[in-house]
Amino acid sequence: MIRTITTEKKPIKLWLDDIEEGALTQAKNLANLPFTFKHVAIMPDAHLGYGMPIGGVLATEDVIIPNAVGVDIGCGMCAVQTSRTTIRPEELKNIMALIRGEIPVGFKHHRKAQDSRLMPRPPAGHTLSGLPLVAREYENGLTQLGTLGGGNHFIEIQRGDDGHIWIMIHSGSRNIGFQVANHYNKVAIALNAKWKSEIPPKWQLAFLPLSSETGQRYLAEMQFCVDFALANRKLMLERIQEIFLAVVSPVSFAPPINIAHNYARLELHFHKDVLVHRKGATSARDGEVGIIPGSQGTKSTIVRGKGNRDSFASCSHGAGRIMGRKQAQRQLDLHAEIKKLDAQGIIHGIRGKRDLDEASGAYKDIDKVLVAQADLVDVLVTLQPLAVIKG
């Protein structure tokens, strides 16, 4: 931890010293909520979000806040070590071409519904009909299962300092998560207005009591979205593994590492059961293996958590943005960003100004982000990108 702010009702513990003004204001809002437990934790990749900073960790008593989970519920990472220690450029290009043909990206979906047996089941004690948003979007979800999505989502082939070739995927819950998040945030806003909540609407932190039927329904629909996002990554991974087998056989795969970074979960901290919201932050319990990716063209890491109690056993979910998407498109030099990737021999997708929103220049230095959280995780494997598909 780098510093603690004690000017608000609850302390704010920060793992960075260069937080932007808007994100700091949001952190202070969190620290002044009446149901915030103990303190607020801000990870080193933190930047401005809706209501709560991305890279924030908030534990609450008796309430859940949809905007403290975010719109891409269950978004997360998976990574797999392959048995391959080398891969030829022509093999890599063939693999990437086949992935592009197999996995829809951006707003594209599969033309046909995927096998419904691959979809998650409703959480224990719930039925599909009891999850209204999920039930409404279920059929659409069957065509979105096994698709990458857009924004900062990616598929990357990497070389690890363990000598192995790795596969890494970053993706989320697609439109199901978006619909659930937006619906329940609007419901929370309306209910908070009805109750004349003391929390200013401009904070964008409308809440739902956990004891309420609506709060429990959101918690269940949120969990389905977390499970859907995991099923989505698993299906993409299976198809990428099939492509590897077709191109570079023989090859085998270690068990996948999976970690989510937009969700809320009941956990025990400081001898109390609380609801931990992680928005752009991942769980880093003692001994837990996770993933901290860099940006396009920079290294990613496989990490092991240290269970730091001050971070509610959490760590960053990536490098973190230093520029908004439009700002990056305006300010970054297209030729310089392409040159950086080409110099490393990385197969990439930056072709025009529109692609600069996901250039490495739009992100923080991953080395500094990792140094700032040395008390949260240990680095197990460092992964250098070989080829990248961006959403």
pLDDT digits (tens, 9 = 90+) for 160-199: 999 999 999 999 999 999 999 999 999 999 999 999 999 9
For the chain, domain boundaries: 3-322+363-390
pLDDT grade, residue 297 (50/70/90)? confident
Q: Which CATH class is domain 3-322+363-390?
A: alpha beta
Mean pLDDT of all residues in 18-28: 96
166 vs 168: CA distance, rounded Å = 7
Mean pLDDT computed over every residue of the chain: 96
pLDDT grade, residue 333 (50/70/90)? very high
User: Do the Cβ atoms of 81 and 253 come closer than 8 Å?
Assistant: yes
For the chain, give the percent of residues with pLDDT over 90. 93
pLDDT of residue 293: 96
317 is catalytic: yes
Torsion of CA 89, 93, 98, 103, to 10 degrees: 110
The backbone region for 238, taken as left when phi is positive above 0, alpha when psi lies in -120 to 50, beta otherwise, is: alpha
pLDDT grade, residue 382 (50/70/90)? very high
The per-type count for the chain, helices as H runs and strands as E runs, is 8, 17
The continuous run of DSSP H or E covering 382 comes out as: strand 377-390
User: Do the Cβ atoms of 184 and 64 come closer than 8 Å?
Assistant: no
For residue 16, which of 41, 39, 40, 43 has the smallest C-alpha distance?
43
Rounded to a whole number of angstroms, the distance between the first and last alpha carbons of the chain is 33
User: Do the Cβ atoms of 53 and 279 come closer than 8 Å?
Assistant: yes
Mean pLDDT of all residues in 338-347: 91
pLDDT of residue 121: 96
> pLDDT tens digit string along 359-381?
989 999 999 999 999 999 999 99
What is the SS3 string spanning 345-361? CCECCCCCHHHHHHCHH
165 vs 162: CA distance, rounded Å = 9
Choosing from 109, 153, 317, 348, the catalytic residue is 317
Quote the crossing angle between the two packed helices 213-248 and 89-102, to the nearest 10°: 140
Q: Of how many residues is the chain composed?
A: 391
pLDDT grade, residue 296 (50/70/90)? confident
224 vs 317: CA distance, rounded Å = 21
> pLDDT tens digit string along 131-165?
999 999 999 999 999 999 998 999 999 999 999 99
